[in-house]
Every structure is written in C-alpha cells, then in structure tokens.
Amino acid sequence: MNKKRKFSSYTDLRNTVFFEVTIGIIANTALLLFHILAFLLKHRPKPLDLGISQLALIHLVLLVTVGFIAADTFGFQGWGSDLMCKSVIYVNRLMRALSICTTCLLSVLQAITLSPRNSCLAKFKHKSSHHYPCCLVFLWVFNMLLNGRFLVSIGATPNVTSHSLVFVTESCSQWPISYLFRYIFFSLANIQDISFIGLMALSSGYMVTLLCRHKRQFQHLHSTSLSPKASPEERATQTILVLMGLFMFMYFLDCVTFSFLGILWNSEPISYCVRMLVGNGYATVCPLVLMSTEKRIIKWLTFKWKKTVNLQ
C-alpha cells in the first residue's frame, strides 16, 4: 500500500467534490419527496414513476456514502471501525450497480409502453406493470450477493502499510483475494454492465425509431406548418432518451478518465479526486434532468415559489 496521500492540500478539488455531492443530495431529495407527496395525495403511481423514485433513492444513498468517503479521504473524519468501513464501501458499490440496472429498466419499460399494438413487445404491455416490481426485487437481491465480496475484502487499515493492499480511503483498504474469486466477480460485474448498457442502446434506438416514424406520419396527415403536440407517452420517452444519453456520456467519460488518469497519475491524489467527480456526475445531474423535463414538478415548484413570495 502506498504511503498516506496528502489529499487535504488539494483544497479546490476537495471543495468541488463536496459541492457536487451537496447539489446531488439536494436534487435527489427534492425529486424523491415530490414522488412521495404525489403518492400520498392519492395519485396512482405509474411503473415509470416507481422507477424514477427508486433511481432518486439509489442516487441519494450513493451520494451520502460518497460524502462519508470524501470526508475520510480528505482527512475530516476517520473510520476507526472495521464495520463502518465495510458498510459504507459495500453500500456505495451496491448503489452504483443498482443505478445502472434501474436506468436500463426505465429505458426498456418505456420502450414497451411506446411500442405499437402490432409489435412483438405489445404482449408485454399489460404484464410489465406486474413484473416490474419483481424485476426490481431480483436485481436488488442479485447485486447484494454479487457485491458481498466487499464485505470480505474491505477492512479498516488506518496504520497498516503494505504493497499488497489497495487504497480505498485513508482509513480503509482492500485486502487481496484469490485469483479465482477475483476473476469470477470481475467477470460477473462486467457481464452485467455490458448487458444492461446493450439493452439501453437497443431500447433507446427502438424508441428513437418509433418517435421518428410517428413524426413522419403526423406531417403526412397534417400541414407541416403545424407543430405536433406531444402526448404524455412521447414526453416521457423524450425524457428517458435524454436520461439514456446522459448515462452513456457519463459512463464513457468515466471509463476514459479511469484509463487516462490511471496511466498518467496512477499514484497521485488528483487522479483519485477527478475519478470521484466524474464517477458521481450521473447521480448528481440525473435528478436535475428529470425535474427540468417533468411538467408536474415545474408547476409544483412554481406554485410553491409564488406562494412563498406572496407570504413575504
């Protein structure tokens, strides 16, 4: 394990990381509270609303754990407990995996919802609302088991120096595990990521094709001078497509940053900080995108703002 990194001297990066985490926590909390209030006000939630609520919850928990990791990394708070170290890293990795899974499910669900009656996906329309919660439960259980390796390999090592340990935070390191188990877990995690990203690409391409076809049909039936009014399904599809594009961009940027910085500054604190910023970018920007494209949230926020101004 390398000598203790002087992260505390990187003030600008430290402030940027905490600023990103704070904005993400506030945005995800607002998005989650809106959907909870909508449910309490007897608005029947749609499967898409359930997925967005879960995504907001996942990103909220993810960013909270990132806050704990950043606090320890920059020397604000040490983890004396081995249980604390295992729990935070395990939950952080679990939420990252579930973020990919839930984003993919949202894309596939919206593709099924938008599919025409004569398509092969039409038979899943009525079943999707019933099977969606089961898929969520399965993904939670599967990822909890898959990421269980961190409960074994992660431990608190505040005063231990060894080249066999992998740096995680200042108080926490990853112990070496056997090559067989490392290969199995690495393969399963990569197969899962590649599968879900492939499903996202296919479902996104399918939705773009359907939207373009619908636009051509409308222009053929009506004058091109008239702008078609998008249906709620189309607006939801456009939101999901923006979300998919954001995820693909951030995932690609994360991979490039990990490879590029790993070659240039593998042992430097700046590499770790930049990876942290890029790796948490999707969890921070995602709720802002969802709120900016959701008319119900915009109207609700506008109403609350006007009400606050009138009271003053």
As given in the structure block, the two tokens for residue 96 are: 């990252």
Apex CA 69: angle with CA 136 and CA 146, to 5°?
A: 35
Residues recorded for the chain: 312
Angle between helices 295-311 and 281-293 (to 10 degrees): 80
Which of these, 215, 224, 94, lies nearest to 151 by C-alpha position? 94
131-185 pLDDT tens trace: 777 888 888 998 998 888 888 878 777 555 555 566 677 777 777 777 777 778 7
Query: CB neighbours (10 Å) of residue 79?
Result: 22
What does the alpha-carbon distance between residue 17 and residue 220 come to, in Å, rounded to a whole number? 51
Side chain identity at residue 173, one-letter code: S
Evaluate whether 193 touches 254 at the Cβ level (below 8 Å): no
89-112 pLDDT tens trace: 899 999 999 999 999 988 888 888
Helix (H) or strand (E) holding 213: helix 179-221
Apex CA 158: angle with CA 181 and CA 89, to 5°?
A: 45
Coil, helix or strand for 137? helix
Query: CB neighbours (10 Å) of residue 178?
Result: 8
Which of these, 225, 233, 283, lies nearest to 254 by C-alpha position? 283
Apex CA 43: angle with CA 204 and CA 203, to 5°?
A: 10
275-299 pLDDT tens trace: 888 889 999 999 988 888 776 666 6
Query: CB neighbours (10 Å) of residue 272?
Result: 20
14-31 pLDDT tens trace: 888 899 999 999 999 989
What is the edge-to-edge ordering of all strands in the sheet holding 166-167?
Answer: 154-156, 172-174, 166-167
